[in-house]
Amino acid sequence: MSEVVSAIVDVVTETAPDVRAGLTGRREYETSENPSGEQMLAADRHADELLEDRLLAIDGVASYASEEREGIVEDEESDGGLHVACDPLDGSSNLKSNNVMGTILAVYDEPLPAPGRALVAAGYVLYGPITTLVLARDDAVTEYVIDDTDEGVERRVVEEDVTIPSDPVVYGFGGRVPDWHADFEAFVREIEDELKLRYGGAMIGDVSQVMEYGGIFAYPSLESAENGKLRLQFEGNPIGYIVESAGGRSSDGERSLLDVEPDRLHQRVPVHVGNTELIERLEGALD
């Protein structure tokens, strides 16, 4: 199994420069919506198609699912194997303003929808000033730089055993303030006094700030949307797995995101991740 995970990580690494190169010229919205009812960019579809083709070609990958397609694509020839879920472009609305975006990878050893406890690896590619990959596997998190060189795509370790710094510095919370529940808003007012605001509109960019500096990111339950905005299979579970592997905590408000029972592929979940002490405080502050 670990060889299949390695093959999946290699494919995501090799695909990252193609996703990045494909962003130029794909900034326009398409007429169709994704299964969550959101407008898709041509760039979302392009990244999704690249990943689907290449990941399903791996021996030992039984199925592919993504935020951008209704159903699960199964490999007819496979008899068992791993199940890959992707958010091909997280934060794709940042493409218009040329801000950070990412690709999120989740590798499950159960058919989807699956709980986060069924993850065997998760990671994200960050298309920032440089392209990086943060990968959680076997309880450890590694950060790599991905370089597209004349000799091919190279993945270089920049930090082994990534852990969230214990002294938190930053916070970022999604959703409009009038849409927050009163208990969450009261918690935010305390946090504002202690930490610096960092919110960029791409979860993966905002979580990367928390991984680097320590702190808390949330896209909480809203008055208008009880489960917030982010999706459990493609966003909540992999981010929870990565942050917990880096020594932090994740929560839906009551329990680890990894303990949330899934009921459907595109279900949403309130997401709170960061330093353990901050997430425990948040859970205590929510009614």
Ligand X SMILES: O=P(O)(O)OC[C@H]1O[C@](O)(COP(=O)(O)O)[C@@H](O)[C@@H]1O
- Binding-site residue set for substrate: 90-93, 199, 229
CB of 256 to Mg ion, least distance (A): 20
Name 286's Cβ contacts closer than 8 Å, sequence gap at least 6: 181, 183, 184, 187, 253, 254
Return left, alpha or beta for 9; rule: phi > 0 is left, psi -120 to 50 is alpha, else beta.
Answer: alpha
Give dist(CA 12, CA 146) in Å, integer. 10
Amino acid letter, 15 = T
Residue (of 99, 90, 5) closest to 47 by Cα position: 90
x/- map, 196-215, ligand X, by CB under 6 A: -----xxx------------
Q: Per CB under 5 A, does 52 bind Mg ion?
A: no
Residue of 48, 90, 143, 252 that binds Mg ion (CB under 5 A) = 90
Distances (CA, A) of 224 to 8, 131, 177, 220, 227: 37, 35, 12, 11, 9
- The reply on whether position 90 binds ligand X by CB under 6 A is yes
Task: Please identify, among the stretches 5-13, 14-22, 91-99, 119-127, the one whose residues bind ligand X according to the rule CB under 6 A.
Answer: 91-99
168 neighbors 274 (Cβ within 8 angstroms):
yes
Known binding positions: 67, 87, 89-93, 199, 229, 235
Q: How many CB atoms lie within 10 A of CB 22?
A: 17
87 touches ligand X by CB under 6 A: yes
The residue among 87 and 206 lying less far from Mg ion, judged by its C-beta, is 87
**238 lies in the site for ligand X, by CB under 6 A:** no
Please state the residue numbers annotated as binding site for Mg(2+).
Answer: 67, 87, 89-90, 235
Applying CB under 5 A, the residues found at the interface with Mg ion are 67, 87, 89-90
**Interface with ligand X by CB under 6 A: which residues?**
38, 67, 87, 90-93, 174, 201-203, 219, 229
